[in-house]
Structure 1
Amino acid sequence: MTAALSIRDMLVMYEDFAALNRVSLDVNFGESFGIVGESGSGKSTLLRATTGLASFQSGSLTVNGRSYSGRKRDKEFYRTVQMVFQDPYGSLHPRQTVDRLLLEPLTIHGFDNVDARIARALDEVGLGSGFRFRYSHQLSGGQRQRIAIARALIVEPKILLLDEPTSALDASIQAEILNLLEQARRDRNLTFVMVSHDLGVISHMCERLTVMKSGEAVETVPVEALEKRQLSAEYTRQLMVASEGFRRD
């Protein structure tokens, strides 16, 4: 069976530094796949190289059976693959209303019945029509991230790339956003690739995960392996201990 997303030996170089050093992974259709690791391990670079925001110098990228290289992506790619960024304050244009932010991708991809689609998108992320003509500076961080999710979902993608989608939000809002994403995945039969430094989030949202360190994939395991401590790499065990935090004896 063809994977929804397949990456083989992907190399991303910045001058003499290998931000990604021949990383390979496969994500199945309908799967929620996690990528974890410390800061600077290459997690976000992997997503950016997938979407064409960064160029990869060698290796291969296949999405739904179609191959892509370097930074070149076509309109069909962005109908299939959408990304939600970490920073809800930086990812929305400050001079555009919510209406304009949601209208733009619909126009680019030639959708009709745009008013109904915008209303439905806002409803799906738990925001009513009263938010439609607000500017992003009039919204809270959680509301902005809901708009960013609505913008990604409105073109009906098959694969959603999530770059730490809750790390900039208050803890009380994080669970709401994660539940919203999980509901959207079930309703739309989406494939998720979620980057996070938080093993708890990945354990809750994902079925399998790849652990990254210094631009390389250390190991790929099912989430159950974390719970059972069935891990082959010492680095993954150290990451688990660190994620459990300080415990008083």
Structure 2
Amino acid sequence: MTDALTISDLVVEFDDFRAVDGVSLSVREGESFGLVGESGSGKSTVLRAVAGLAPITAGTIAVGGETLGRTRSKDFYRRVQMVFQDPYGSLHPRHTIDRALAEPLAVHGIGDAEQRIVKALEEVGLGTGFRFRYPHQLSGGQRQRVAIARALILEPKVLLLDEPTSALDASVQAEVLNLLEEVRRKRGLTYILVSHDLAVVTHMCERLLVMQHGKPVELLTSADLAARRIETPYTRELMVASEGFKRGA
């Protein structure tokens, strides 16, 4: 089986700062793979490099066995879509939800917009009553559902999820994570999920890569993490910090 995504010796630099330093990983088709680490670990930069939003200084990225060039083609964005951390910032405040969902279809020359928009809203648990509302008229959880619908409307194979629930209330986070898991199962999607929350990654992902200062630290399965089969002190510290935060919350 072809890997959905392969990253080899990836380096990303901004001026003199090395944000990602020698990261390699492979994600199987239909797998949910996590990137974990504290703020500044480079995990989101890896996603942005895949999406073509961060410069690749060295190394290669391949999607479906095809090595990506410096720029991303339209076909790439049909296959790979990204959901950002801030659902308000990623939606145009003066565009209705209908327009936000119609825009990618127009860009890619896909017809049948009416039916696709209705289907996309239903798939993420929003009715057609949301079509002509504006982002400020929606809750944070509803906005993130719209962002997910916009990513799904092109029927991609891979979703890049950058902290998709960290800007949401705790009560809403579980709903959105369950929605993402349901969609992945139904569509057979591949996920690459970035999170600082080990509990989220353990719940959502089969495997995860722990990162620190732009470098890979440890590759684990979620079963390893749950059973505390951890080899590095840094991963252990992350786990303790995550648990301590939950107890005090």
Instruction: Give 1:137's aligned amino acid.
Output: H
Identity %: 64
1:78 aligns to 2:77 (yes or no): yes
- Alpha-carbon distance between aligned partners in 1 of 2:47 and 2:193, rounded to the nearest angstrom: 9
Q: Name the aligned partner's letter for residue 224 of structure 1.
A: A
Query: Residue type of the partner of 2:160?
Result: L
- Residues 62-101 of structure 1: matches in 2 within 5 Å? 62-70=62-70, 72-101=71-100
Q: Provide the rounded CA distance (Å) in 2 between the counterparts of 1:172 and 1:195.
A: 20
CA offset at residue 174 of structure 1?
A: 0.4
8 Å CA contact 1:56, 1:69 repeated in 2: no
**1:170 matched to which residue of 2?**
169
Asked whether 1:109 is paired with 2:83, we answer: no
What is the SS of the residue equivalent to 1:4? strand
CA contact (8 A) 1:45 1:54 kept: yes
* Cα distance per residue 1:46-90 (max 9 Å; x no partner): 1001100111111000001111133x0001110010000000110
**Could you say what secondary structure the match of 2:7 adopts?**
strand
Secondary structure of 1:96's match? coil
Give every structure 1 segment of 4 or more consecutive aligned residues whose post-TM-superposition deviation is greater than 2 Å: none
Q: Distance in 1 between matches of 2:136 and 2:195?
A: 26
Shift of 1:22: 1.2
Matched with 2:236 is: 237
TM-score (norm 1): 0.97
CA displacement, residues 172-226 of structure 1 (integer Å, 9 cap, x when unaligned): 1001100110010011000000000000000111000000000001011111111
- Aligned partner of residue 47 in structure 1, secondary structure: helix
Contact kept, 8 Å, 1:96 with 1:135, in 2: the verdict is yes
Whole-Å separation in 1 of the counterparts to 2:187 and 2:195: 22
Partner residue of 2:14? 14
Give the SS at the match of 1:118: helix
- 3-state SS of 1:60 partner: strand
CA RMSD of the aligned region, Å? Answer: 1.1
Distance 1:50 1:17 in 2: 19
Give the distance between the partners of 1:111 and 1:184, measured in 2 at CA: 21
SS at structure 2 position matched to 1:209: strand
Q: What is the CA-CA distance between 1:2 and the residue it aligns to?
A: 2.2
Give the paired residue count: 247
Q: Following the alignment from structure 2 to structure 1, what is the Cα–Cα distance between the partners of residues 69 and 232?
A: 31
Q: State the distance in 2 between where 1:90 and 1:105 align.
A: 17
Secondary structure of the residue aligned to 1:166 is coil
Counterpart mapping for 1:44-193 below 5 A: 44-70=44-70, 72-193=71-192
CA contact (8 A) 1:164 1:196 kept: yes
SS of equivalent residue, structure 1 residue 110: coil
Deviates more, 1:12-21 or 1:106-115: 106-115
Give the unaligned 5+ runs of structure 2: none
Q: Which secondary structure state, in structure 2, belongs to the residue aligned with residue 90 of structure 1?
A: coil
